[in-house]
Amino acid sequence: MSGRRVVVFPSVAELGPSLAQLVSSRAEKALSTGGSFSLGLSGGSLVSILGKELPAVPSLDCSKWLIGFCDERLVPFSDPESTYGLYKNQLFEKINIPEDRILAIDPSLPVKECADDYAGKLSKETQRTVAPISDSPKPPPQRVTMTLPTVNAAQCVVFVSTGGSKAPVLKQVLEGGEGPALPAALVAPRQGELFWLVDEPAAASLTSQMERPGPGAKL
């Protein structure tokens, strides 16, 4: 892994465009060198950030991207909790991603079968694995989630963490503490880049090395 980069922005307004630039630049690099580009998406607050900022990237071409979900809630696509449903409305309809380049779960299946089915869909493309979750501490409890080896096989992993409520857990993940390491602290791409893009409120308790890029700086 090349070294972890913790990059702090004054607020999500500055973080969002840098995240979109990071995603689009890594896609362009992969595709222009004859490779493929697969983007694994999380949900939560990331949906609105990417929904706003990715379509604003000049000349963005997503026609060859493959999009999957690092973590998906086991609810129908029409449910307001569905990560796929949210991205469909807020992002996919605004960019030129073909429907068959988006790998979604089959939410009609029970959680274990759904995870196995999704692992099958991904393995056609990536040979990687997915786990069923039935006790997510944040509702809804049932999830279909990429495993640590899958995440660590990525060329580039980006955590996005914004808001003061994330400060204590961010400190624990990035700077350690008592007890076993949290799962996010175990993410270390074997041959790839690792970014933590955070805003000032989330970074408030951090003391380790951080970057504070100027406006428009490229990651």
43 binds ligand LXAUTJHC (CB under 6 A): yes
Q: Which of residues 55-114 bind ligand LXAUTJHC (CB under 6 A)?
A: 71, 73, 83
120 binds ligand LXAUTJHC (CB under 6 A): no
Q: How far is the CB of 128 from ligand LXAUTJHC (least distance, A)?
A: 17
Best CA proximity match to 62, nearest among 70, 47, 50: 50
Q: Locate tokens 């604003």: which residue?
A: 56
| Three-class secondary structure of residue 86 per DSSP | helix
Q: Which of residues 179-218 bind ligand LXAUTJHC (CB under 6 A)?
A: none
CA of 121: how far to CAs of 37, 176, 186, 189, in Å? 16, 36, 25, 22
Q: DSSP strand E in the chain: where?
A: 5-9, 37-41, 65-69, 71-73, 130-133, 143-146, 156-161, 193-199
Best CA proximity match to 107, nearest among 140, 154, 155: 140
The binding track of 122-161 with respect to ligand LXAUTJHC, each residue x by CB under 6 A or -, is ----------------x-----------------------
Binding ligand LXAUTJHC by CB under 6 A: which of 45, 63, 123, 208? 45
42 binds ligand LXAUTJHC (CB under 6 A): yes
Catalog residues that contact ligand LXAUTJHC under the rule CB under 6 A.
42-46, 71, 73, 83, 138
